Structure 1
């Protein structure tokens, strides 16, 4: 039973058929977002069993682009879904038997978790953090909450969804019992049906699809170069010094003076065998050029041509490389990404470089001068800039 004001809002247009069909699209978007988000988190915080490949070099660019695009696509779908079902969320009794209690609890948890993920994820793409918690770990934990609540909700509502999908789009509305609305008061009663209502449902589905497509195009240009002119909501879509966007500047990192200092040295350490390199020393070593995209967790990516010393060649000038992971340290003294660890499989790759040049020019300060790490198929936050030390781990 619905309160009278809300019962008047329940129409065949705002029904189980619309909710089920939009829900399928939303479920696909959430599944893509969840899986690609796990990949990104595991690359940055790898569990012992996880191994991310070195090639193809654009794989992370694709997965993280899909993560952000699917998350943005989910926003209009969530709004349409909530519009379709919200009157029934207040059907009486609010709790009732254990099955109804489980349904209500899963809905509340699902809506809260999904909205939290979409809002915080969207803010992260703009690097806007108006909260006190650490985004990365909180976003990761809440992803499991949202996924679990979605699975419970699907299990509880599966009979209703199957019944709604089995009816043609121009058929009669769902039985009132499926929505806990009394037949005598339901605006969805067959006697209230009009010829325009199936058309209205189709129009809403079309509008939801168009909204999702527009949302995708508004950010897809961050990942897909030929769509950049459409990327009106993309904060970083190809513009920046040397044709590559910048997340963290040298000024923000507080490294400008040290990076340009005459006594700058890059220290390379292999099991106690240590050697220091000036920028001129690095330039005197054999130079290699590699075309590698740089892709960041915010979803943007850019193709670039990097030139520098092959990492394995640099290590060979110090001593035998023992085929272990390597730690990179920045001149930056603070921040969680001032260091990164590169797995041995990436160290061995012929296109992993200590880069000195970008797109044919010496690195500018904001891109990591005097030198930086660039490795294939890695998030930008792990491509350490302003290198001060390279150490092979024991």
Structure 2
């Protein structure tokens, strides 16, 4: 299996931003033992954010087009804004290579590991409701989990469980790529993971892992008495006021949507992955959204409007994960930018928020093919933030995928 497939399940943020295996994120996650439990992400005293003037927009256009050309990205949409500074909203390239139809801002896209932010929000809502405890062992809710009596829900959300990432399993990769429109159940996904020994003791290291989110999705179902998709669509998506965000029941993909292109295929050649069934990502990466909704979600996620202040504070308490990045409860802090990235065969997304200037950056694109070992979404994020927030550059070195 390719490293990227394993990244897929990661998501925006350090790891996610980096790239995740076919899971549903985008993190290149390595085993990293944090030196101490306190946040290590430095924030510069300078938090100036420029007016998004035509001159700045021209710089951004040039930077985006350069990444597109180098990484051979078919199409991308970008939204950057901050109160009192204006906004930069652009689309580039094509949504369909066969017809040449242009990318448009109203198109639905698969968001990969950004899904993790919705799943963990659902979990934290149940914490606020007193239905689950972050320090409960996963074995209280799901039977048969290795170390299930010692791995806590908090450690699952922090990516510190020590469990094997199912999307890094060779048999899973073969099953998915041989029939990418098939459906997987959460139990089938866990079975791939549990065939492998645990990788480390709970809480001792960071390792981006889609298995963790599958388990948290099952906890949400058990504690709420509802199907995960129904709960998230009702209690998270609707409560956040999102109009075009969906946890799909199957392979449905509302129109209009962009076609997605991947090389994580059985043949190794680039193919159209638009109709691949995202069930294999489930709570780790199955969701769909659009540019307007992710712009709204970036602020909701980072400011915690769906949670109590105390629970949001726990969510944002990051532990060092990757160089320049910390990971909290289903959320990254990359040089001050808070949010997540996502990567799924054919699609990538980056959804982040910078608190001081209240700046939002969203990037959505229709390929997950790496360029020189980096996720395209990370390259776009880095190029854009170098221009507008040079003291807070969204950049992460590619890391070896742990498996």
What is the TM-score when the length of structure 1 is the normalising length? Answer: 0.21
What is the TM-score when the length of structure 2 is the normalising length? Answer: 0.20
More helix by share: 1
